[in-house]
Amino acid sequence: MSRRLSLLPLLLLTLLGTMLASLSLGRYPLPPGEVLDFLLHQLGLGELEAQRQALLHNLIVDIRLPRVLTAVLVGAALSISGAAYQAVFRNPLVSPGLLGVLPGAAAGAALGLVFSDSWWIMQVAAFATGFLAVAIGVGIAGLFGGSLVMLVLGGIISGALFTALLSLVKYVADPYNQLPAIVYWLMGSLATADLPDLARVAIPMGLGILLLASLGRALDALSMGDDEAATLGLPIRSVRYGVIALATLISALTVSLAGVIGWVGLLVPHIARLITGPGNRLLLPASALLGAIFLLLADGLARNLAETEIPIGIVTELLGIPAFLLVLHRARKGWV
């Protein structure tokens, strides 16, 4: 048991190491030592030449840091919401997109791109429609009794609706400027966010991640079934809809930050389960940390593999398939 608990600090250290590596890698590679020197200097420790300092500031703080922080936030948010959804729906094959948040947010973002130049408006539109899509899915389920199966079907219906709306927006978009922008954006990118943007969403996202991470035991109980969870004293409706709302909130925010990044929310909880076992108390925080690491690595490949950058969504999907096959191979005995 203590071996398992020491996993989280270990994962946190790995994450910090990966962040450091990501800050030093790129078109102009820096030795990790120099990145550390710069960070120490920023904290008021150590000396650094002024010209060098300006260059490093530009490279690290202006260009790489937003990207690294975006990757950490988005990876953690998608993975922990995936793990939480899998527990709420008692199904290990569920991803955060189940209730339509990703198609919803995508349609909203496309709409924002067509009707406005402001990136900020697009962010708000993506977030709002992502939430709307889930609300419609949950609402449809509520009309038919609100069982888990109805929730899944409601999500499918709502997802189909917003996929159709997305196609409609693409169809009416100007094919020379807007359509390519929509298509690129749908492939996902960690490069668009700047530090002020990040600061705006980091607080709700961070809070959402922390709250979800603290609900592990409640989710364990919920995954045993409604009657059992209720007789264990759990307020099942509040927990279920609270977790859905939190997971929707943070997944919609990832779409508004970085577009649609597939696979992470399904794949990372499975990798985490191989390490921590299925108990959600450890699985949720471990998924968040591993998700951040995974997306940083994927972004490292996206930036460094070819001359031009490959969209991150494509990398996660290509990387995700062999990784998932590996997980399936390990997990044949059960969802270990």
Tokens for 285, please give them: 């925080």
The residue (of 115 and 335) whose beta carbon lies closer to other proteins is 335
Min dist CB 328 to other proteins, Å, is 15
The residue (of 1 and 306) whose beta carbon lies closer to other proteins is 1
Min dist CB 279 to other proteins, Å, is 5
Min dist CB 285 to other proteins, Å, is 11
Min dist CB 162 to other proteins, Å, is 28
Give dist(CA 180, CA 199) in Å, integer. 28
Min dist CB 228 to other proteins, Å, is 6
Q: Identify the H or E element spanning 261.
A: none
Cite the DSSP H helix spans in the chain.
2-5, 7-24, 32-42, 50-56, 65-88, 101-115, 119-143, 148-172, 178-186, 195-213, 216-222, 226-231, 236-258, 264-276, 280-304, 312-330
- Torsions phi, psi of 285, nearest 5? -65, -35
The residue (of 233 and 322) whose beta carbon lies closer to other proteins is 233
Spell out a b/e string for 267-280, using b for 16 or more CB atoms within 10 Å of the CB, else e.
bbbbbbbebbebeb
Give dist(CA 200, CA 205) in Å, integer. 9
Q: Beta-carbon neighbour count of residue 68 at 10 Å? A: 23
The residue (of 20 and 230) whose beta carbon lies closer to other proteins is 230
Per DSSP, the three-state class of 306 is coil
The residue (of 101 and 215) whose beta carbon lies closer to other proteins is 215
The residue (of 224 and 305) whose beta carbon lies closer to other proteins is 224
DSSP per residue, 276-302: H-S-HHHHHHHHHHHHHHHHHHHHHHH
Write out the residues near other proteins by the rule CB under 8 A: 87, 90-92, 214-215, 217-218, 220-221, 223-225, 227-228, 230-235, 239, 273, 277-279, 281, 334-336
Residues belonging to the chain: 336
The residue (of 85 and 162) whose beta carbon lies closer to other proteins is 85
- C-beta separation of 123 from 240 below 8 A: no
The residue (of 31 and 233) whose beta carbon lies closer to other proteins is 233
Short-list 331, 320, 184, 323, CA closest to 263 = 320
Min dist CB 235 to other proteins, Å, is 7
Min dist CB 269 to other proteins, Å, is 10
Min dist CB 62 to other proteins, Å, is 39
What's the gap between Cα 112 and its chain centre? 21
Sequence-distant (6+) residues with CB within 8 A of 315 are: 298, 299, 301, 302, 305
Tokens for 248, please give them: 């929707």
Min dist CB 152 to other proteins, Å, is 14
The residue (of 91 and 163) whose beta carbon lies closer to other proteins is 91
